[in-house]
């Protein structure tokens, strides 16, 4: 089950569970669309994979026991350990089409 991390790992903007601005890679690294497009160039600085929009978990229970109430989003903030220069170099070397 997705953690639904609460923030962008790059700029630290809040990304609540219902955010349409949240993107994730296959390892669930979480970034906002602005950072994905403008800084990361659609390359995860942690794994080198690309991004998809993060799905939204329903706040209200549509099926018994399945909702944010029963499976709450994470409250643990995560931030990238890489510098802006390291991210730029990695993104440039690994952007889609360079493989």
pLDDT digits over 2-53, tens only?
Answer: 999 999 999 999 999 999 999 999 999 999 999 999 999 999 999 999 999 9
Look at the domain 1-71+78-99 and name its fold.
Herpes Virus-1 (3.30.40)
Whether pLDDT at 99 is above 90: no
Whole-number pLDDT of residue 98: 64
Number of residues that this document lists for the chain: 99
Whole-number pLDDT of residue 41: 95
Q: In whole angstroms, what is the distance from residue 30 CA to residue 27 CA?
A: 9
Model confidence at 95, pLDDT cuts 50, 70, 90, reads confident
Whole-number pLDDT of residue 33: 98
Containing H/E element for 30? Answer: strand 30-32
Inter-residue contact 43 to 35 (CB < 8 Å): no
């Amino acid at each position: 089950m997705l953690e639904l991390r609460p923030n962008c790992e790059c700029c630290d903007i809040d990304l609540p569970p219902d955010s349409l601005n949240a993107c994730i890679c296959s390892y669930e690294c979480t970034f906002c669309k602005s950072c994905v497009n403008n800084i990361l160039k659609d390359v995860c600085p942690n794994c080198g994979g690309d991004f998809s929009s993060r799905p939204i978990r329903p706040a209200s229970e549509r099926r018994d026991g399945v909702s944010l109430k029963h499976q709450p989003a994470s409250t643990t903030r995560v931030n990238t350990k890489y510098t802006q220069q390291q991210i730029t170099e990695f993104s440039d070397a690994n952007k889609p089409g360079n493989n």
